[in-house]
Amino acid sequence: MTEVNAEATIGQAAGRGQIVAWGLWDWGSSAFQAVILTFVFSVYLTDKVGDDLPGGINASSWLGWAIATAGVIVALTAPISGQYFDASARRKRALAVLTALTILAMTGLFFVHDDYNDLWLGLALLAFGSTVFELAGVPYNAMLRQVSTPATVGRVSGFGWAMGYFGGIFLLLICYFGFIAGAGDNRGLLGIPTDDGLNIRLVAILAAVWFAAFALPVLLSVPEIPRTGADPGAASAGFLGSYRVLWRDLRELWAADRRTVGFLLASAVFRDGLAGVFTFGAVLAVRVYGIADSDVLLFGIAANVVAALGAVVAGRFDDRVGPKAVIVVSLVSMLIWGVVLLFVSGPVLFWVFGLLLTVAVGPAQASARSFLARLAPPGREGQLFGLYTTTGRAASFLAPALFGFFVWVFDAERAGIVGLLIVLAVGLAVLIPVRGPDTSFDPEV
């Protein structure tokens, strides 16, 4: 295969249709993240399948360990995977294979019946699906450089994040009203029987079909990257040799431009704080601010909508003033509204200031992706986004640990907000000294 200059891969598929196709993968992938892993199937697995599990360890603990195992595998393999995908010119092929494996795992969940003997199959499929899904995010994020130009990377990243938010909301509503809502032996508008967990098992099939349908456009419209000489030896290094190549590249990055390493550290911290806002938001809404259980889903939908809209709007500012400014403003605003939430009470004020806080989550996430895309050496985006995944995994204990610590120390769930604010503040402090990427371009482009 003839090698080309790595610069040629930038913006090679930046047509409007290709950008939409890229964003549709995010729309479809929310089927795994929102429906399978977070809100529907994981709950079925712990509350139904494993509710009568014998022994002293409950199903929730087993689920936590299964997902943690997947996280360790991802953290260890993401950088060398992205490195290999790029060096061997197999970025799109890797996305296709990893997406297909995720869909197969989701489809297999249909065979997890409401029987504790099936818990192990469910855990294995969830862990495997989580592993390949997160690894699929590495070549997908690396494609951002292909489907955008230096003038549009911010708004394209914001568009992708917004598609993910809206896709998750839309599918959750379909699942809830079509398969889950109501009481009795038949649920949802479709009247699906609940016997043996059939309604939830069919949700898994729907989610798999949803992901497959919306993943196809990017695979059909965005071309494979050409082979480049950006990372010598990476394509033929072998498994253990890939870590030597990775270490060599990290030393070169440290010597040439330390801001990449600084940003990876800062983003790992503040992204965990962003995740913590959504992870513990529902708990705080009910336990501290008096939101009714039935209204939590409505708040969750509203929070995702404003975060998505924030990502779209902030994307244009990202392209004009740079991603660092967007992230800093987002984190500062979250700290302000978080402090306000410490002192207010009642559902109405939680709706107001909670949504003001979450509107900044989308811009911070989208601009973090565009920040790294701008910094990544051409032809090595996969390697950098693999490191982005790994560092995020390494810091993923911070928000949960500090949330729990402050709740324990002050014996008040409201105090957990302080833990989340500390994580966001530390991430901001680490980010401030990091020089932002160059964004010189014609703003009329």
Over residues 292-315, the pLDDT tens digits come to: 866 777 888 899 899 999 999 999
Give residue 11's pLDDT: 82
Q: What is the mean pLDDT of the chain?
A: 91
The span from the CA of 201 to the CA of 107, in Å, is 9
Mean pLDDT of 169-185: 91
The span from the CA of 171 to the CA of 40, in Å, is 11
What are the structure tokens assigned to 213, written together? Answer: 């349908």
Give residue 286's pLDDT: 82
Q: Is the pLDDT of residue 162 over 50?
A: yes
Mean pLDDT of 64-78: 91
Close Cβ partners of 34 (under 8 Å, ≥ 6 residues apart): 168, 169, 171, 172
Residue environment code for 279-314, b if the CB has 16+ CB neighbours within 10 A, otherwise e: ebbbebbbebbebeeeeeeebbbbbbbbbbbbbbbb
Running DSSP on this structure, what letter comes out for residue 48? I
Mean pLDDT of 187-202: 95
Tens digits of residue pLDDT in 370-405: 999 999 988 889 999 999 999 998 888 899 899 999
Q: Is the pLDDT of residue 32 over 90?
A: yes
Tens digits of residue pLDDT in 131-142: 999 999 999 999
Q: Is the pLDDT of residue 267 over 80?
A: yes
Are the beta carbons of 412 and 421 closer than 8 angstroms?
A: no
Give residue 441's pLDDT: 44
Give residue 444's pLDDT: 38
Give residue 80's pLDDT: 92
Q: Is the pLDDT of residue 241 over 70?
A: yes
Give residue 3's pLDDT: 61
Give residue 442's pLDDT: 38
Mean pLDDT of 414-430: 95
Are the beta carbons of 180 and 169 closer than 8 angstroms?
A: no
